[in-house]
Structure 1
Amino acid sequence: MSSINCEDLAEFAKSQGHKPNSYLNGNRQTPVLTEEFYKNSPEHLQEELARIGMLIRLFLEKTQSEAGKDRPNFPGMFISEAEANSILQAVCCGSVACQEQGLESEEINALKRTISRKKAESLKRGIELRLHTLSELFSLTPFETDVLLIALAPELDGRFAKLYTYLQNDLAKKQLSVGMILDLLCAGLEEKLEAREHFSPSAPLLRNRLISLVGDGADANPPLLSRFVKLDERIAAFLLNSDETDPKIARFSTLVKPVRSFDDLIVPDDQKNCLLEAIKRTIEENARLMFFFYGPSGTGKKLAAEACCKEFKVNLLLADAGAFPKGWESEALSLILREALLQHGAVFLENFDALWGRGAQGQDLDSGLSSIVPGYGTYGSGFSVSDFSRSGFSGSGLSSLVRALDSFRGPVFLSAGQLWEPGSVLKNNTFISCAFPLLAFAERKQLWKLFLQNFENSVGEAELENLAARFKLSGGQIRDAVSTAQGFVASRGQDKAVLTTEDLYRACRNRSSLKLNSLARKINPRRKWRDIVLAAAVKEQLEEICAFVRHKETVYSEWGFDKKLSLGKGLNILFAGPSGTGKTLAAEIIAGEVGLDLYKIDISGIVSKYIGETEKNLKKIFGEAEIGNAILFFDEADALFGKRSEVNDSHDRYANIEVNYLLQQMEEHEGIIILASNYKKNLDDAFLRRLQFAVEFPIPDEASRKEIWIGMFPEKVRIGEDVDFNFLSKFKLTGGNIKNIVLLAAVLAADGSGVIGMKEILRALKREFQKMGKICTPGDFGAYYELVK
């Protein structure tokens, strides 16, 4: 390895913008820019690095004079006896008298004073100096600032890396070690020992991930002095005037420059006034606020945070806590908070409840501390996007995450679905919780008008009311539904500016019930009133149910009935009657008439033998149904909504708890629930008291049965002339029985003549009787007995 002479270093200095006769040659002229202030941040960095260069020059002069003639020609390749004796002398000399005065000179002090004066003048003129900004943001000492400069130098010019290899007698060491930095910046042993604290995990440099300490790979756990100081890539970019968000957090964060204000926020006026007053007092008192916004997704929590940040005059860094890599929660949050400081922004932590109880290897976040010290690693292990997602870093506890948020100096916004309280963890922030429930009918209607105002459409005032009434969508969901409807129009090759009611209804259904698909079976409503045969009284009740759904919000919201009721604002319906009388078909028709999705609940998937699991499954279903604007259909409901019994053992007690929980959910649920049961008497009386409608589905009479028989055959089917519908309608069968008979008769006809005649129908009827346990007698079948005996 060849040495670097003064001429090389002088040329290097010249490339940095200084005169050749500067700090790296024999002339002791102090290198300064002629202006009395820095025009920009790079000029300041240039002169600060000139000061670091002077320190390096003095260090080289000192080490060269100590080595003298015995300095090896190939440093780093071997250690001479003279060099070993020099090391022993330095190590063994521990008295104050033996300690050197350090690398100080009048020219360095003069440059320091010049830099300080010009920096003050620049700041006075409003010129941002990134190094000064960084020091202020993270409360860095002059020593820590010099550490950053030393680590930054190779990022600006590769020849610094060459210089560092020379200083450390090793071509592979292109970054300075902690030991070498202490030699450069400290006067003696006592000062070095004190300076080691700046490299502890709790000190600003490592706590804020400004630097990392890495080994060379040969030693898994090298001593502190042998670790190399690597500047974080985002910090280097910031010093070089880059405002691009840290790539390591780009996957789960977004920077927003607030443009929307409280005028754009659709929430009650008292809630707006509360937030504005809190912001005003915080600004006046220079205090800190932590906001907790809770409620369903899309209810305006982000918009409220943006409006607050506009008042604070800061940017907003949005981060999705649910997308934090598992096991890296603490690291992710640290980088989020650091980025928010660099961007002069507030932090909005979305899906904060995703962190509750979450931890690595299935552990609770509150169960342990980090297994990796921040900033420590092996050579070249700077956090990359791929490393970030693979690491086994364990969670540091929810309370530790909250304390980290509490230490952040800007506004903090936490967003979750449910209310949460931090307890006594917060020391620096005032905690303000604010609920964001689903929008009321009037607010939904206002948003529909707002989002549709730029479209030429056939949606009138009445249809807007229907949309707002039937779909309890949040503001974000309404916006997305309009966008989805535009996509439907575009897929048909039509003008995007034209939206129809059908497009909007379809878009609303698509946006609202996504999560229920994993909990229940969706029934696509295709049947109409013409597809069902009902007694006039039954049909009248079903039409009343449809009217209730259409006008529910008008009655509750606009007429004020909601203020009279604290619970029981939903619509609970019972369909009772024998199997096959049209209960499921009626539920499908109602869903189609009111434009809502119908989800049939699988009882077997809900009920669990494990204590508490049934209630947990029910809570999830009811919650998703209300948010998803879906009709819940419980078939064979008596299996779940049965009568409570006397408590004779633990099984009875827990069975009763499930029934009690269902009663509570039915009363609190504001959506639509349809219970279907073959045995109404098996349902608990408490459920019956909570029903708005109880519809009895009797076995159809003879006239209705004839209508069912005739209506069961499609137009394309060939029916024999011998088919006697009057005769067939005499049998007391339900619509379900008739459907089974007609289908089997069609199969028999397809396997034979292709015509459905009386022979095929009676053969199928015989099979249905056998399933029902009935016998075909001559008295019942008369002249047709020969076909069924």
Structure 2
Amino acid sequence: MLNDSVHTLTHLKAELQRIDVLIQREVRRLQVAGRDPVDTLRGLYVSDSDAEALLARPFGTSLGQTAELDDQEVRAFEQAEQLARQQTKWLVKEARRQGKTSRLLSLTSAFQLDEFEVDALLVCLAPHLDLRYERLYGYLQDDVMRKRPTVNLLLDLLCEPGPGRLLRLASFNDDAPLFRYQLLERLPDSNVTRPSLLSQSVTIDESLVSWLLGGYQAHASLGGYASLEWPQINETDSLLAAEPLTDVVIPGDASSIAVFHGPDEKIQVAGARLVAANMKRPLLVVNLAGVMQQDISSMRALRLALRDARLTGAIPCLMGWESCLVESSPPPALLAELYNYPDLVIVASTTNWQARGIDRVRHLLRVAFPEPSYSQRGALWHFFLREDMAIDPSLEVADLASQFILSASQIRDAVASARDRAFQHGRALNNMDLFVAARSHSSPRLAELARKIVPRYQWDDIVLPPDQRAVLREIISTVRGRPMVLHTWGVGQKLAASAGVTAMFAGPPGTGKTMAAEVIAGELGLDLYKIDLSTVINKYIGETEKNLGRIFDEASSSNAILFFDEADSIFGKRSEVKDSHDRYANIEVSYLLQRMESYDGITILATNLRANLDEAFTRRFQFAIDLPFPDEVERLHIWQTLFPPEVPRADDLNFGLMARRFKFAGGSIRNIIVSAAYLAATNGGIVTMEHLLHGTRRELQKMGRLISDIDLTNS
């Protein structure tokens, strides 16, 4: 709402001149009533004569109102006030003739304030514009420390003498417009625990002062969680949010409340901007969840947001509405506040809430902003990678759209981060920049629920039989071929094929299950998260599913590889159901498999004993790989592959002997090499056979196998 600032200030000045007349009259009344202007202790004690005067005063009147001014003074004050009113009316009329208005009039209209309420605002506003009012209010209230008007002073200034003035106390109730909409605020009194309403000091909010003077700043309680925009229709917002709004008619009045819901709040804000731009109105975006983090109640946060929307004439867009819900529905009092708001409201949340507990007096227009589909993600990547950027010609975004299930705003932010990375390296944007950025913007909180593993191994590092190696390559080919098979060829729609890939890695400890997962992650450029199922299992019914649900929900946008280790802690043969705990364990297993099948990324289940898995469960995996215990030839290859070439080695180092004599899996061989290297670092600096045998002894001890030094050194 735009107002001419010059007229706004002129109008305020004229109104305050009228308030000056009321103050002058009250000062004169006090003088006539006998207040001693030279009494330096006035207000600090109550004398006998003061007590007698208080008892003689009629009920409901103050000292000044007991004074009887002579007729000439009464007429003089009446004429001065009437002249000030006429001057103000002329200014308003002249401004309207010129197509102008003032913010005070806009405020009066927006909150339907009566004359008394407007004057109360003006009295409270005066000290913010001229410090002399602070001293005047101290004089009028018989207390130099009271620099803001009390409710009693407001009644003295604005009401006729007599007990009828007390009827105006209702204007200072919490539900009265002045306080309901936070136009005025009560100040705490450090000297009185629970002061009476009459003795409470009242002030005007500083943000309202700013607005009345022609500016705008959000209420202090809204902090940095409110922003006022004048949106214009633009290509970015249209691409992000136009489609869900295509078939929706949103009236720009109080007949309805627009309920936006979806996983990405930024897309909902883009939709709100489109609505406001089409209506040619400003938009006030308020994050209620952020406001409530400051120990502010949901009702106060809502009222402040709606107050600022009324002041600015903006459409309020209330973000974080889910923080106000109680059992998927807002409290009836909050709903009533929304229903009573005399304009369009946009309520945005991550959940599609329901309205309960109160009669529906407005239409709820629900608009869903879902996650973009594969084709939409591709269009978004292309849009944000448009021609104004320096791009590597070999860039291919189809893999990005397939491998990273990001929202529109995440894609936009990922492209911006990728551009920063390319600029930092002084080159055109390439695939690596985009993949790194896409990973950084996908589910950053997943690391709080699972352990992120940075892939260290490649194909040359893993020792597997040809068949198992071929299955790993097939998993990678399946992931890379998903865009063509599922979307271009339509296999996903016609055959109800899942977009995800499920695999089971079975084998004894140390046979390379985690290493195989790292090879896949490194080859595809995806994040790898390891979840120890033994730590997810909870003895309380339903808690295991909640734990698993949080992991899958957070991973849903990342398309990260989820590697579930220690599956033996949850899997068992379904035929071996002996009690309720066994039956419930099968429910947990079914839930895990169901979530794995519905997950759009890669999920890998690792088990040490495949025999523990029911065949019906095993058939639900797309891929199943048995990682066998390595034979002598494979063990020799593992020794040679894992031993770093940079580590100094003695001539007597005999990997063939180690592979022949000791049947270790790759994990144990790795432990022996690490142990030998540490021992050599402080004992000669060269790894010898003695160091390897020492590491072997320690590894066997961990396995619970005791062996003599003679056995170890016998070739």
Measured against the shorter chain, the TM-score band is 0.7 to 0.9
* Structure 1 residue 542: Cα displacement: 0.9
Aligned counterpart, 1:325: 293
Partner of 1:53: 20
Q: Determine the structure 2 residue equivalent to 1:346.
A: 315
CA apart distance, 1:84: 6.5
Stretch moving more, 713-722 or 129-138: 713-722
Aligned counterpart, 1:140: 113
- Deviation of residue 212 (structure 1)? 1.9
Question: Which letter maps to 1:455?
Answer: M
Q: Which residue of 2 aligns with 1:422?
A: 355
- 1:413–1:262 distance in 2 versus 1, CA, 3 Å: farther
Residue 716 of structure 1 deviates from its aligned partner by 2.4
1:187-235 superposed Cα distances (whole Å, 9 cap, x missing partner):
2435313211111111001111111233543222222222222122122
Deviation of 1:692 (Å): 1.3
* Correspondence list, 1:301-700, <5 A: 301-323=268-290, 324-325=292-293, 327-329=295-297, 330-356=299-325, 398-425=331-358, 427-453=360-386, 454-458=388-392, 460-461=394-395, 463-492=396-425, 494=426, 498-564=428-494, 568-644=498-574, 649-700=579-630
The structural deviation recorded for 1:43 is: 1.3
Which deviates more, 50-59 or 441-450? 50-59
Confirm whether residue 787 of structure 1 aligns to residue 694 of structure 2. no
Distance 1:548 1:321 in 2: 44
The answer as to 2:106 corresponding to 1:175 is: no
1:155 to 1:738, Cα distance in 2 relative to 1, 3 A: closer
Quick check: 190-199 or 288-297, which moved more?
A: 288-297
Distance (Å, rounded) in 2 between the aligned partners of 1:480 and 1:523: 24
Residue aligning to 1:197: 170
Query: Which residue of the partner structure matches residue 192 of structure 2?
Result: 219
Q: Deviations over 1:353-396 (max 9, x none)?
A: 23445xxxxxx999xxxxxxxxxxxxxxxxxxxxxxxxxxxxxx
Gaps of 5+ in 2: none
- Do 1:641 and 1:662's aligned partners in 2 also have CA atoms closer than 8 Å? no
**What whole-Å deviation, never above 9, does each CA across 1:636-656 have from its counterpart, x for those lacking one?**
212123344666544334333
**Number of equivalences:** 697
Q: 1:261 to 1:661 in 2, by over 3 A?
A: same
Map 1:25-44 to 2 at 5 A.
Answer: 40-44=7-11
Q: Aligned equivalents of 2:410 and 2:107: distance in 1? A: 40
Kindly report which structure 2 residues correspond to 1:71-150, keeping only aligned pairs within 5 A, or say none. Answer: 73-74=38-39, 76=42, 88=55, 90-91=57-58, 105-109=78-82, 111-150=84-123
Q: What is the aligned counterpart of 1:151 among 124, 135, 159?
A: 124
Q: Measure the CA separation in 2 of the matches of 1:365 and 1:227.
A: 39
- Give the direction of change, closer, same or farther, for the CA distance of 1:85–1:354 in structure 2 (3 Å limit): closer
Cα shift at 1:523: 0.6
2:463–2:637 contact (8 Å) kept in structure 1: yes
Structure 1 CA distance, aligned partners of 2:623 and 2:510?
A: 20
Alpha-carbon distance in 2 for matches of 1:222, 1:299? 46
Q: TM-score, normalised by structure 1?
A: 0.80
What amino acid is the match of 1:621? I
**Hey, what does 2:232 align to over in structure 1?**
259
Could you tell me how far apart the structure 2 residues matched to 1:488 and 1:668 are? 34
Q: Decide whether aligned partners of structure 1 residues 269 and 177 sit closer, same or farther in structure 2, where only a CA change above 3 A counts.
A: closer
**Cα distance 1:649–1:773, how it changes in 2: closer, same or farther (>3 A)?**
closer
% identical aligned pairs: 37
Q: Hey, what does 1:735 align to over in structure 2?
A: 666
Return closer, same or farther for 1:650/1:355 CA change in 2, 3 Å cut-off.
farther
Amino acid at match of 2:185: S
Go from structure 1 to structure 2 and tell me whether the alpha carbon gap of 1:38 and 1:105 turns closer, same or farther (over 3 Å shift).
farther
Distance 2:534 2:210 in 1: 57
2-structure distance, mates of 1:764, 1:111: 99
Distance 1:152 1:763, change over 3 A: closer
Q: 1:490 Cα deviation (Å)?
A: 4.6
Q: Secondary structure at the match of 1:616?
A: helix
The residue type equivalent to 1:176 in the other structure is: P
- Residue deviations 1:284-334 (CA, integer Å, cap 9, x gap): xx3343233333236612211111121232222222233223531233332
**1:623 offset after TM fit, Å?**
0.8
Deviations 1:18-69 (A, max 9, x none): xxxxxxxxxxxxxxxxxxx9960111112212222222333444454454xx
Q: Does structure 1 retain, via aligned residues, the 8 Å contact 2:241–2:271?
A: no
Q: How far does residue 263 in structure 1 lie from its aligned partner after superposition?
A: 6.8
| 3-state SS of 1:633 partner | strand
Q: Between 120-129 and 517-526, report the one with greater CA deviation.
A: 120-129
Please give the alpha-carbon distance, in whole angstroms, between the structure 1 residues aligned to 2:60 and 2:645.
109
Q: For 1:242-300, what per-residue CA distance to the aligned partner results, in whole angstroms no more than 9, with x for missing partners?
A: 2233343223222232134477333687623133xx22xx13xx334323333323661
- 1:638–1:292 distance in 2 versus 1, CA, 3 Å: farther
Structure 2: distance between partners of 1:755 and 1:678:
36
Question: Residue 222 of structure 1 aligns to a residue in which SS?
Answer: coil
Aligned-partner Cα distance in 1 for 2:684–2:84: 109
Given that 1:640 and 1:659 are in contact with CA atoms closer than 8 Å, whether structure 2 keeps it comes out as: yes
> Relative to 1, partners in 2 of residues 1:761 and 1:788: Cα closer, same or farther, differing over 3 Å?
farther
Letter in 2 for 1:564: K
Distance across 2 between alignment mates of 1:684 and 1:63: 95
DSSP 3-state at the match of 1:162: helix
TM-aligned CA distance change 1:72 to 1:766, over 3 Å: closer
Matched AA of 1:211 = L
Distance 1:460 1:759 in 2: 53
Q: Unaligned regions of 5+ residues in structure 1, if any?
A: 1-36, 358-363, 367-396, 778-783
Find the aligned partners of 2:619 and 2:457 in 1 and give their Cα distance.
30
Q: Matched residues in 1 for 2:189 and 2:333: separation?
A: 32
Q: 2:264 aligns with which of 273, 294, 297?
A: 297
Query: Which of 208, 221, 225 pairs up with 2:181?
Result: 208
Q: What is the identity, as a one-letter code, of the residue corresponding to 1:187?
A: E
Q: 3-state SS of the aligned residue for 1:554?
A: helix
Partners of 1:599 and 1:309 in 2: CA distance: 42
Instruction: Quote the Cα distance in structure 2 between the aligned partners of 1:399 and 1:545.
Output: 52
Q: TM-score, normalised by structure 2?
A: 0.87
Shift of 1:529: 0.7
SS in 2 for 1:171: coil
1:394 equivalent in structure 2: none
8 Å contact from structure 2 (residues 265, 350) kept in 1? no
Deviations 1:60-102 (A, max 9, x none): 44454454xx8664383577888766655540699xxx99999
Report the CA distance between 1:107 and its aligned residue.
4.9
Identify if the C-alpha distance between structure 1 residues 228 and 771 changes in structure 2 by more than 3 Å, giving closer, same or farther.
closer
CA contact (8 A) 1:763 1:787 kept: no
1:671 Cα deviation from its structure 2 partner: 2.1
Contact kept? 1:38, 1:118, Cα under 8 Å: no
Distance in 1 of aligned mates of 2:90 and 2:430: 69
Distance 1:61 1:529 in 2: 97
- Seen in structure 2, the aligned counterparts of structure 1 residues 554 and 254 have a Cα distance that, compared at 3 Å, is farther
Task: Give yes or no for contact 1:513–1:630 (8 Å, CA) kept in 2.
Answer: no
